[in-house]
Amino acid sequence: MADRVPSIRLNSGYDMPMLGLGTYNSFRPNEVGDAVKAAIQMGYRQIDTAWIYQTEQEIGVAIKELIKEGKIKREELFIVTKIWGHCHEPDQVEPACRKSLEALDMDYVDLYLIHFPVAYVDKERTKPTMTDYLDTWRAMEKLVDKGLVRSIGVSNFNAQQLDRILKMDGLKYKPANNQVEITPYLAQDDLLQFSLKNGISTTGYGPFGAPGQVYIPKDAPKFLEHPTIVDIGKKYGKSSAQVILRWGIQRGYALVPKSTNPSRLAQNMDIFDFELSKEDMKAMLALDKGYRVNHEQFLPWKDHPFYPFEK
């Protein structure tokens, strides 16, 4: 199955699988480890985590066991993790990266992202700081030179912030990826086009609206039940989730849907035997309302100059 998943060639020269496993909000013992094992054996090769998810160690153990059993090799996997905002000071970047590597029990990660452009004084985000993400980026570049990470990128950055990095003095490595929320109600087309034009890949998180996540508003739209998406799915004999993922693949960005359910993991992987028509792609894009599901947790910093979303 792994050979069915297309890849995106990053500007760093490495290939990133277009379908990965998200691991946020998996806190029950062995939950994420079991999901990672099941996913890898189904053909998933990208595993997405972050320091703040508290899943790095369990992911590392699961992968180590599969390697020991001869079911996978480290070089066949694409591991993504992220630096949290309390470590944006340049002298804190490498120690933060090394902590993630230690938790994962790996010599390198394939992609290391700045999780959010705003920095904080502590991990609880009690107070923001004015640390410039350009200074953080310069420290991130050194991680590549030291072989700790293969590619570097960002998450939750807007086009203006990406452009600011691209135009910074002495830039050595362009962002290889920007991981952002993309859903049927938040198509992010302008950001996608800007990134494509500048050789920056995009990964969409929360493609189904992150149902069940603690930070999602109770009245958030249920994309998997949307009549347009359900009807499109019926045409192809596919679920709404498969339609949403296929829409993303055809638009050219990677996706990291989160699931710990083996049947859903398999269903999410089963999207490479059909193609949405131009009419159905347009119908999906027409659902865009600029509606951001994942925003309430960021609102305390809406007046910060590095806040990335529209006020």
Q: Which residues are identified as catalytic? A: 53
The SS3 call for residue 231 is helix
Question: For the chain, percent helix, then strand, then coil, each to nearest 5?
Answer: 40, 15, 40
Cα distance between residue 165 and residue 154, in whole Å = 10
Cα distance between residue 125 and residue 215, in whole Å = 15
Give 105-109 contacts, CB < 8 A, sequence gap 24+: 105/57, 105/60, 105/61, 105/64, 106/60, 106/74, 106/79, 107/147, 108/147, 108/148, 108/149, 108/150, 109/79, 109/80, 109/81, 109/148, 109/149, 109/150
CA distances from 156 to 34, 184, 219, 223, 273 (A): 28, 17, 23, 21, 31
What is the identity of the amino acid at 309? Answer: F
Chain centre to alpha carbon of residue 169: 27
